[in-house]
Amino acid sequence: MAVAVGRPSNEELRNLSLSGHVGFDSLPDQLVNKSTSQGFCFNILCVGETGIGKSTLMDTLFNTKFESDPATHNEPGVRLKARSYELQESNVRLKLTIVDTVGFGDQINKDDSYKPIVEYIDAQFEAYLQEELKIKRSLFNYHDTRIHACLYFIAPTGHSLKSLDLVTMKKLDSKVNIIPIIAKADTIAKNELHKFKSKIMSELVSNGVQIYQFPTDEETVAEINATMSVHLPFAVVGSTEEVKIGNKMAKARQYPWGVVQVENENHCDFVKLREMLIRVNMEDLREQTHTRHYELYRRCKLEEMGFKDTDPDSKPFSLQETYEAKRNEFLGELQKKEEEMRQMFVMRVKEKEAELKEAEKELHEKFDLLKRTHQEEKKKVEDKKKELEEEVSNFQKKKAAAQLLQSQAQQSGAQQTKKDKDKKNASFT
């Protein structure tokens, strides 16, 4: 008989001091080594109009030419295109997936533009949930496709957010970490940029859009995150072409009036974006996705399916039992439906049978009728035939008689003529 004795709660845990080096300070290294050997996943979703510079920015961020053909403006609807890449830096392997919204903002009617995006995000959560719920699951080497960061590209109008932007961001803010950025920032002058940024931020706040908050709870990153947050949304310029500046080659865009350097913090906020997105908060983005957005999705999904947490002191596996109950209910319904269908089927069969019998009867009757008619006709024909034969025989008789008469008549005529002749002759003599 086991007696669990003295399991103190958290507050009662004694803090012990160590009298020597134990060695578990290598624990984070052990953990990190394991993760390094498995590789990391990071998935970015880029939402923005066609031609706003999404692909170029991705190329610039990751120092690579991801192959993609620019999309046309003729897409009938919004669709998402996902591409995966494996990047390696020193001993870190990153499985990067970039999801693009093709055709966003091109339609005349943009009511449903946000729907494919929301569906895609939900589908990734769903896939993870399904894996979690399996009996035999392997979560530790599951390829995580959930979106960790959503870069929302705002068009550099200089005025304010478009209503499409507000609507889309509102729909996405509870599902994904949104980082708004101003694209093609080299079209805005510096003074306008400041006004534009504050206008955007106030609009987001007044519409209750929850964008991603850079974490400020840990001392090492709190400071840098706080200073960077002030510059949201980051005004970025992307370029993969290099221009000679001074004696170095740098990524830049060359204009007749000057050169916009991508990595110059006076020119644009690209460096800030790269810092925040990759070098400081990548892990936090992943964690937020898992602990906040995914849990919310999971909770909603389970509640939707009718499961609830029961009181803590109720029977264990409330979920399992609810499931059982539901399953039995479902099976019962299934059986009922089966019965109904079977009965209906039987009824129909009977009907059809009756119909067919009717038809058969009719057919028989018709057949009889025909037969009778046929027989009658036959009889009539026979009768007529007999009549005909009679007539024919009569005719033959008559003919024969007539012939006889004729021949008699001829004979008598001949005799008569002879007689006459003789008489005549006699008279002469």
Within residues 196-225, the interface with other proteins by CB under 8 A covers: 218, 220-221
From the list 73, 159, 190, 299, which residue makes contact with other proteins (rule: CB under 8 A)? 299
Rounded distance between C-alpha atoms, residue 109 and residue 103, angstroms: 12
Q: Please pick, from the candidates 50, 56, 113, 145, the single residue that binds other proteins as defined by CB under 8 A.
A: 145
The answer to whether 106 touches 73, Cβ cutoff 8 Å, is yes
> Residue 385 CB, nearest distance to other proteins (Å)?
55
Question: Which residues touch 29 (CB under 8 Å, ≥6 apart)?
Answer: none
Is residue 334 part of the contact set for other proteins (CB under 8 A)? yes
> Considering beta carbons, is residue 15 or 109 the nearer one to other proteins?
15
**What is the token pair recorded at 206?**
């007044």
85 makes contact with other proteins (CB under 8 A): yes
Asked if 313 interacts with other proteins (CB under 8 A), we say no
| SS3 category, 127 | helix
| Number of shown-chain residues binding other proteins (CB under 8 A) | 120
Q: How far apart are CA 425 and CA 212, in angstroms?
A: 161
Residue 374 region, left (φ>0) first, then alpha (ψ -120 to 50), else beta? alpha
Residue owning tokens 């920032």: 185
- Taking CB under 8 A as the rule, does residue 18 contact other proteins? yes
- Cβ-Cβ contacts under 8 Å for 276 (sequence gap 6 or more): 179, 214, 225, 228, 234
How many angstroms separate the CA atoms of 251 and 243, rounded?
A: 6
**Separation of alpha carbons 150 and 147, rounded Å:** 7
Q: Which residue, 226 or 388, has its beta carbon nearer to other proteins?
A: 226
Task: Give the integer Cα–Cα distance in Å for 75 and 94.
Answer: 32
76 binds other proteins (CB under 8 A): no
Q: Does 82 sit near other proteins (CB under 8 A)? A: yes
The region of 78-86, 228-236, 376-384, 412-420 touching other proteins under the rule CB under 8 A is: 78-86
Residues 224-253 that bind other proteins (CB under 8 A): none
Q: Copy the structure tokens of residue 138.
A: 């392997």
| Selected binder of other proteins within 207, 291, 412, 416 (CB under 8 A) | 291
Residue 56 lies near other proteins (rule: CB under 8 A): no
Residue 364, SS3?
helix
- Which H/E stretch holds residue 342? helix 318-428
Q: Which lies closer to other proteins via its Cβ, residue 170 or residue 301?
A: 301
From residue 30 to residue 49, what is the string marking binding to other proteins with x (rule CB under 8 A)?
xxx-xxx-x-xx--------
Residue among 355 and 383 whose Cβ is closer to other proteins: 355
Q: Give the separation between CA 187 and CA 178, rounded to whole angstroms.
A: 23
Distance in angstroms (rounded) separating the CA atoms of residues 124 and 116? 12
Contact call for residue 95 and other proteins (CB under 8 A):
yes
Angle CA 291–296–299, to nearest 5: 115
419 binds other proteins (CB under 8 A): no
| Residue selected from 72, 73, 142, 339 as contacting other proteins according to rule CB under 8 A | 142
User: Does 264 sit near other proteins (CB under 8 A)?
Assistant: no
Q: Is 271 in the site for other proteins (CB under 8 A)?
A: no
- The yes or no reply on residue 314 touching other proteins (CB under 8 A) is no
Report helix, strand or coil for 234: strand
CB of 182 to other proteins, least distance (A): 22
Backbone angles phi and psi of 393, in degrees to 5: -65, -40
DSSP code for 316 = S
Q: Is 17 in the site for other proteins (CB under 8 A)?
A: yes
> Judged by CB, which is closer to other proteins: 58, or 232?
58
* Contacting residues for 281 by C-beta, under 8 A, at least 6 apart: 214, 215, 221, 225
Say whether residue 4 binds other proteins (CB under 8 A): yes
- From CA 260, how far away is CA 268, in angstroms rounded? 8
Q: Which of 74, 91, 109, 163 binds other proteins (CB under 8 A)?
A: 91
Q: Minimum Å distance from CB 119 to other proteins?
A: 6
Among 223, 345, 353, 372, binds other proteins (CB under 8 A): 345
Note whether 86 binds other proteins by CB under 8 A.
yes
Q: Does 88 bind other proteins (CB under 8 A)?
A: yes
Is residue 97 a contact residue for other proteins (CB under 8 A)? yes
Q: 144 or 161: whose CB is closer to other proteins?
A: 144
Q: How far is the CB of 316 from other proteins (least distance, A)?
A: 6
Q: How far is CA 3 from CA 6, 7, 141, 315, 405, in A?
A: 10, 11, 38, 21, 149
